[in-house]
Structure 1
């Protein structure tokens, strides 16, 4: 009898052990890092090297550097003896008086007053290139360099090859460009001045 009771107790213990559910396993993805594990070593990247030419492919051309084209020498034909040399030679009496007044005002250090006198002269003779040339000089005295060069170019377009007017205009252009820091432009203007001065010297009696 006791043996039977003992066997029944053992059987009950075995059955209770089998009925107990197994411990729930935790799953995670990715699996957590184990304590004490070392991180994967970082592989240093190689510095980028200049691309090598691919066989059969044209290599890139170097940047083009503009070539300085040598300027041909400027040749100016000497003016004929009958060419007018000043505003007095082509202007009427009123314009001549205003041009002389403007000269006196510029000499006195009054370029704005000289400009006003020349504007009055241009209202009378708007195509008088000597008056436009004097106006460019008045703008130069006022340090209005852009306007001085623009007006001098207008005088050149009206002068139609008059060497005496063009010489004064290119002197104004040279000074305006030099004042603006345009070294190359000033040198080109100087080349023109030199050629015009040679032509004027050739026409001198």
Structure 2
């Protein structure tokens, strides 16, 4: 064979070898390349933001109640605290009428108040007392019970209602029912007395 026939192949092989060697040199260089990272030896720690625990926050000591003194419930104690001006005025009229010995006028004023605020348990409670004054004992019992249902745990109103219920049941000859209502009223009285300031 002619020697010149292999020269292009030899040049190609030589060029390829040069490329491979160059790439190998790059690979070895890149293999030795170091990326800086903070030292982790000798007790040093990589700086990372410390996560805040879910319950983080200053520990605040809650004031402890004094022995024997518990807080009074935060319920409204009068109609004026929850009623509009029209109902408040009608409640005043009803009380004045009761004081004057005119329960029919008081009942009329309270029924008007209930048309304005049908869920006002103070109005229902005073209406129950008005029925008791009129001698409508069954109605007094029923209306006081409705007031309790609407009061949703307002102990001030419930106390007055249980007293009304006890009197209404006693007047009807229901001694057991009257005793039960009186017991409930006494429980509420004790409960409130335990929370009264000493």
Q: Give yes or no for the alignment of 1:140 onto 2:126.
A: no
Q: Give yes or no for the alignment of 1:85 onto 2:68.
A: no
* Cα RMSD (Å): 1.4
Unaligned 5+ segments in structure 2 are 1-69
Q: What is the distance in 1 between the residues matched to 2:176 and 2:154?
A: 25
**Number of residues of Structure 1 aligned to a counterpart in Structure 2:** 128
Q: What is the distance in 1 between the residues matched to 2:124 and 2:107?
A: 10
Q: What is the distance in 1 between the residues matched to 2:116 and 2:195?
A: 31
Q: What is the distance in 2 between the residues matched to 1:79 and 1:158?
A: 23
Determine if contact 1:129/1:155 at 8 Å carries over to the other structure. yes
Name the SS of the counterpart of 2:77 in structure 1. Answer: coil
Q: What is the distance in 1 between the residues matched to 2:140 and 2:77?
A: 21
TM-score by length of 1: 0.60
Partner of 1:111: 103
Determine if contact 1:79/1:162 at 8 Å carries over to the other structure. no
Determine if contact 2:72/2:196 at 8 Å carries over to the other structure. no
Q: What is the distance in 2 between the residues matched to 1:81 and 1:173?
A: 23
Structure 1 residues 183 and 79, CA, compared in 2 at 3 Å: closer, same or farther? farther
Q: Which one has a bigger Cα radius of gyration?
A: 1
Q: What is the distance in 2 between the residues matched to 1:133 and 1:149?
A: 10
Partner of 1:40: none
Partner of 2:11: none
Q: Give yes or no for the alignment of 1:154 onto 2:141.
A: no
Q: Give yes or no for the alignment of 1:121 onto 2:113.
A: yes
Partner of 1:197: 189
Partner of 2:155: 163
Determine if contact 1:105/1:113 at 8 Å carries over to the other structure. yes
| More helix, by proportion | 2
TM-score by length of 2: 0.62
Determine if contact 2:72/2:192 at 8 Å carries over to the other structure. no
